[in-house]
Amino acid sequence: MRRVRTIGWRGIALAGLLLLAGQPAATEPLDRVQAALLSGSTRLAGFALMRDRPAGGGPLLARLMQAEGMLHDGRNGPVLLWRGVSVRPVLRWDDNINGGIAGDTISVGGLDLTVDAASRARGGLVVGAAASVGARYRLAPGRVMRLSAQAMAVHAPRHDLWRGEAAAEACIAQALPGWRFLDACAGHSLARSDLSDANLSWAGLRGTGHFEAAGGLHALSLGLRQTWRDDYAQGFLDLSLDSALPRIGALGLHLSVGEAVAGHNAIRYRAGASLTRRVAGRRVSLGLDWQREEGSAIFGTPRRDALHTLGVEVELSPRLMLRLAGQRRSSTIAMYDENRLILDIGWRPRR
């Protein structure tokens, strides 16, 4: 049997609770505007400011509407609304830095095989740097173009492993009557590591509408997305609901359904939920994600994987975040079973 360092879900949950140790329960009930601001969605925040009209909220609402190209200042043609560059350090612990196989031996078709040392999962501390650049232009009243690019390079000193990632995306967003929006996006990403290289391109169209129901404010999005990898293409249907709930916080739900791809272990279903609120004045997020992958076979045995992720993120300071996540992959092919722990310290760039 292969050896794997197991991380039980109870241990992951306990570690998340330890991050909150010493934090009293919520200080005071959140209103809908506060919950919307915690959601990370500028559109939901703007909708909440429009509906509830809190005292002193006018300047912030104006900035959010300007970001969506909904305010006209008399200038014609493409108008630069915002641009920025940021650089931040990366400090992370990862149980599988190189994307290798967890364990020394595997069982396939009743045979016990030894995993080559170079193909085994390596865990340890990862350090490096990440950079991002972005710009936002108003093309016409209510129409905005968003451009963004990111790059990251990290090194694991213990194993002398390197990993690099880069991505770029361009979007055209159109504001519609009734605080509705239509987004068309396309992009490309690449990743390079000691064991694998990956390229991914995508294009998608998404519509979003905002509404009030059950005492909360909500943003419902429906989208179609096409992806292209090195060896196959796949389409997705995406559905998400972001809610600002008084006395509860920001709730996020999402569901993706991918088309079947014969011969490749592709994502078929993905679902998740998150809750964000303030605890003792600090932003705290809890998230649970489930993913189903299938489509390939090994020695005639169909492969189906279920990936569960449980994570907690705590704001240590206005610019410093701590994230702990545990992942469990269960596969019909035992060699792909894996338990993984990720500890990440993140820095928010200045705006």
| Euclidean distance between CA atoms 242 and 251, whole angstroms | 6
High-pLDDT (> 70) share of the chain, % = 88
| DSSP per-residue letters across 30-78 | --HHHHHHHTT-HHHHHHHHHHH--TT-HHHHHHHHHHTT-S--S--S-
Q: Is residue 249 part of a domain?
A: yes
What pTM does this model have?
0.87
Do the Cβ atoms of 263 and 295 come closer than 8 Å? yes
> What mean pLDDT do residues 199-210 have?
98
Does position 210 have pLDDT exceeding 60, yes or no? yes
Identify the band that residue 6 occupies on the pLDDT scale cut at 50, 70 and 90: very low
Q: Is residue 33 part of a domain?
A: yes
Q: What is the mean pLDDT of the chain?
A: 87
Identify the band that residue 159 occupies on the pLDDT scale cut at 50, 70 and 90: confident
24-29: long-range pairs with CB below 8 Å, 24+: 24/279, 24/280, 25/279, 26/277, 26/278, 26/279, 27/278, 27/279, 27/280, 27/281, 29/246, 29/247
> Looking at 162-166, 206-210, 236-240, which range is the least confident one?
162-166
> What are the distances in angstroms from CA 74 to CA 65, 79, 138?
15, 10, 12
Which residues contact residue 112 at a Cβ distance below 8 angstroms, ignoring those fewer than 6 apart?
105, 106
Helix, strand or coil for residue 311? Answer: strand
Q: Is residue 2 part of a domain?
A: no
> Looking at 44-53, 114-123, 273-282, which range is the least confident one?
114-123
> Looking at 159-168, 177-186, 205-214, which range is the least confident one?
159-168
Q: Is residue 268 part of a domain?
A: yes
Identify the CATH number of the domain in which residue 142 sits: 2.40.160
Q: Which amino acid is at 62?
A: A
Q: Is residue 340 part of a domain?
A: yes
The burial class, CB within 10 Å (0-12 / 13-18 / 19+), for 10 is exposed
Q: Is residue 6 part of a domain?
A: no
Do the Cβ atoms of 123 and 94 come closer than 8 Å? yes
Instruction: Determine the structural domain holding residue 119 and report its residue range.
Output: 12-347
Query: Residue 173 corresponds to which tokens in the numbers above?
Result: 């967003």
Q: What is the pLDDT of residue 43?
A: 97
Does position 221 have pLDDT exceeding 70, yes or no? yes
> pLDDT digits over 44-74, tens only?
999 999 999 999 999 999 999 998 988 877 7
Of 23-27, 73-77, 298-302, 308-312, which one has max mean pLDDT? 308-312
Q: Is residue 28 part of a domain?
A: yes
Q: Which amino acid is at 276?
A: T
Q: Which amino acid is at 289?
A: D
Residue whose token pair is 């995406």? 238
> What mean pLDDT do residues 322-349 have?
87
Query: Residue 129 corresponds to which tokens in the numbers above?
Result: 């740097």
Q: What is the pLDDT of residue 337?
A: 87
The burial class, CB within 10 Å (0-12 / 13-18 / 19+), for 43 is buried
Q: Is residue 256 part of a domain?
A: yes
How many domains are contained in the chain?
Answer: 1
